[in-house]
């Protein structure tokens, strides 16, 4: 018995297909993935971090914004992500060929910072009848980590408030961990923050925020 190999989809095909049905989709290595609705705890953490970041870039008079929905098309592979938080540099959007029609950025100069909040969800692969249980820490710690790094995004946060990541990422025993990935010579250098550690951000040097405050925002 042979299993049909799903047709790989390009970014342009993905965006042309994308339905207006209120469901969120991403393109992972050429395969359309339906993302399950986020949990309430996940959304509380996202909202908390957006509020803190907005305060910081307003205070510094930076021409940044955080869109409600936007995409990052990564280089090399047909992957298009919709990050939990995408900080955009408004000064560079005029150089983005896909921004006006597709709300898509392709250049690291447009993305000072990207944030993924780790959660467990159920997702389906579009075009198949199979449902796969997606513990998306693997997407965040492996796939998106590598793709954002290759793209050259200078700073990437992983907020693992529920301690879902692998032990090599958040310790043994597992504990809630906030990871700041800073691009140094084309590679991410990762600093981990737990408990009452003060988060150190290369982009926002005066950020007054502890890891525990982020974790507590889910409560």
Q: How far is it, in rounded angstroms, from Cα 119 to Cα 159?
A: 9
Q: What is the DSSP string of 105-127?
A: E--GGG-SEEEEE--EEEEEETT
Query: What pLDDT, in 10s, does the model give residues 44-89?
Result: 999 999 999 999 999 999 999 999 999 999 998 899 999 999 999 9
CA angle 99/120/102 to nearest 5° reads 10
For all residues of the chain together, what is the average pLDDT? 91
Query: What pLDDT, in 10s, does the model give residues 144-180?
Result: 999 999 999 999 999 999 999 999 999 999 999 999 9
Q: How far is it, in rounded angstroms, from Cα 125 to Cα 103?
A: 23
CATH no. of 11-216: 3.90.1570.10
For residue 161, the tally of other CB atoms under 10 A from its CB is 24
Burial letters for 181-213: b for 16+ Cβ neighbours within 10 Å, e otherwise? bbbeeeebeeebbbeeeebebbbbeeeebbbbe
Query: What residue spans define the domains of the chain?
Result: 11-216
User: Quick one: which H or E segment has residue 87?
Assistant: strand 85-89
User: Residue 129: its pLDDT value, please?
Assistant: 36
Query: What pLDDT, in 10s, does the model give residues 21-31?
Result: 988 999 999 99
Average the pLDDT over 99-112 and give the result.
98
pTM, rounded to two decimals: 0.91
147 Cβ contact partners less than 8 Å away, ≥ 6 residues apart: 74, 75, 76, 77, 79, 81
CB 188, CB 177: distance < 8 Å: no
Q: How far is it, in rounded angstroms, from Cα 59 to Cα 184?
A: 26
């Amino acid at each position: 018995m042979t299993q049909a190999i799903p047709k790989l989809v390009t970014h342009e095909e993905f965006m042309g297909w994308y339905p207006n049905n209120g469901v969120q989709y991403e393109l992972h290595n050429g395969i359309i993935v339906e993302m399950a609705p986020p949990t309430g705890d996940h959304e509380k953490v996202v909202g908390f971090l957006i509020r803190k970041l907005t305060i910081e870039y307003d205070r510094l008079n930076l021409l940044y914004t955080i869109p409600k929905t936007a995409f990052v098309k990564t280089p090399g592979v047909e992957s298009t992500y919709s990050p939990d938080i995408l900080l955009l540099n408004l000064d560079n959007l005029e150089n983005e060929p896909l921004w006006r029609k597709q709300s898509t950025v392709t250049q690291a100069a447009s993305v000072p910072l990207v944030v993924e909040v780790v959660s467990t969800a159920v997702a389906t692969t579009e075009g198949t009848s199979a449902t796969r249980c997606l513990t998306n820490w693997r997407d965040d710690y492996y796939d998106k980590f590598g793709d954002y790094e290759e793209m050259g995004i200078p700073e990437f946060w992983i907020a693992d408030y529920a301690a879902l990541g692998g032990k090599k990422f958040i310790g043994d025993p597992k504990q809630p961990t906030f990871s700041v990935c800073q691009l140094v010579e084309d590679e991410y250098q990762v600093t981990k923050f737990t408990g009452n550690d003060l988060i150190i951000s290369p982009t926002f040097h005066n950020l007054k925020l502890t890891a525990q405050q982020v974790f507590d925002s889910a409560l």
